[in-house]
Amino acid sequence: MNFGDLDLNTVWFILLAVLLTGYAVLDGFDLGVGMLHLFVAKNDTDRRILLNAIGPVWDGNEVWLVTGGGALFAAFPLVYATVFSGFYLALMALLCALIFRAVSIEVRSKHDSPAWRKFWDVCFALGSFVAALLLGVAIGNVARGLPLDAHGEFAGTFLGLLNPYSLGIGLLAVVLFAMHGALYLVLKTEGELQARVERWSHPLAIAFSLLYAAMTLATLFHIPHLNAVFLANHNYLLVFFLGALAIGAIRVMIRRKKPLAAFIASSLGIVGLMAVFSLGAYPHLVYCPEFPERSLTIFNAASSRPTLSIMLTIALIGMPLVIAYTAGIYWVFRGKVKLTKTSY
């Protein structure tokens, strides 16, 4: 397909941002459900309800992350090589956490032993927590910038990735996803279990608001290259304020007992955060604060134009199918969770 003079590099940057945002919104709530699994569920039936609240959708949600990784490899291979080698240990830990989550969901109810189920419950919760934390730490490091050598390769250490700013973003992601998961569970549960989840949602929303404010201030004072982008493009500030408005609406909707509106506000808040991150980063994919000329951008780290054209053609065919499948699954499994003999 001929795309003429279309800026394919920017198009692929936008597609990558959309894929990662879709993952954060969709898989964010089932990571949150996992983290809350040991706290809001008081018995085996409650835990089965929580598992079945995400059971039909959790694996489809992770498609967005896999597709995002594939898009990064195809469109920006130099970035893929730098990030995946530099974050190797962290990515292996993330992969193990996601594997343990998946196995926990599938095998937890295969045996009636309380010890068996307790073990996999703990694995499910810990895997969810570690995955959320590491995803946040990764975003924090990309926002902060990474040390690169003259060849564009990662020149830092694993311990260097565990800096205070990135750990703060990691904690923000943990609380955000826990809140997002609680709001989702309010929609999927009923009775006493729903009441317990509701009691968790408001404190989590307060904690998220405080952390959001703290990390926004930390970004203003310690990440100058992101601030420069917004100061130079005042229109970008509108995106920031719209995202902040959505985040502020979460607590309002919780207090008004409007769970669907609260969940939508939470989703829009995540979209706003990812949009601000993407706008601040553009056109950089990996920024090097010490030597900005070494930074990897959508131009110096991209595949050839023919490759981007072919991949965009495939994306234009595949993306509508993924979106249609996702929408169909959520429509079929809408409403409250009802346990059956075939449930997890």
Q: 174 falls in which pLDDT band (50, 70, 90)?
A: very high
Tell me the Ramachandran region of residue 143: left when phi exceeds 0, alpha when psi lies from -120 to 50, beta otherwise: alpha
pLDDT of residue 207: 96
How would you class 91 by CB atoms within 10 Å of its CB: exposed for 0-12, middle for 13-18, buried for 19 or more? middle
Please give the class, per CATH, of domain 8-332.
mainly alpha
Query: Is the pLDDT confidence value at 16 over 90?
Result: yes
Asked if 296 contacts 78 with a C-beta cutoff of 8 angstroms, the reply is yes
Decide if 230 contacts 237 (C-beta within 8 A). Answer: yes
CB 278 within 8 Å of CB 142:
no
Tokens of 157: 């250490």
Q: What are phi and psi of 296, to 5 degrees?
A: -95, 125
Question: CA-to-CA distance for 211 and 335, rounded, in angstroms?
Answer: 32
Specify the DSSP element, H or E, that contains 78: helix 77-86
Question: Crossing angle for the helix pair 164-188 and 191-222, nearest 10 degrees?
Answer: 150
Distance CA 231, CA 223 (A): 13
Q: What share of residues in the chain are helix, strand, coil (percent, to 5)?
A: 80, 0, 20
Rounded to two decimals, the pTM is 0.93
Categorize the per-residue pLDDT at 244 as very low, low, confident or very high, splitting at 50, 70 and 90. very high
The pLDDT tens digits of the residues spanning 125-146 come to: 999 999 999 999 999 999 999 9
- Using pLDDT thresholds of 50, 70 and 90, give the confidence band for residue 319: confident
Contacts of 31 (CB under 8 A, 6+ apart): 128, 131, 132, 177, 181
pLDDT digits (tens, 9 = 90+) for 270-305: 999 999 999 999 999 999 999 999 999 999 999 999
Mean per-residue pLDDT for 33-48? 91
Q: Could you tell me the pLDDT band of residue 25, with boundaries at 50, 70 and 90?
A: very high
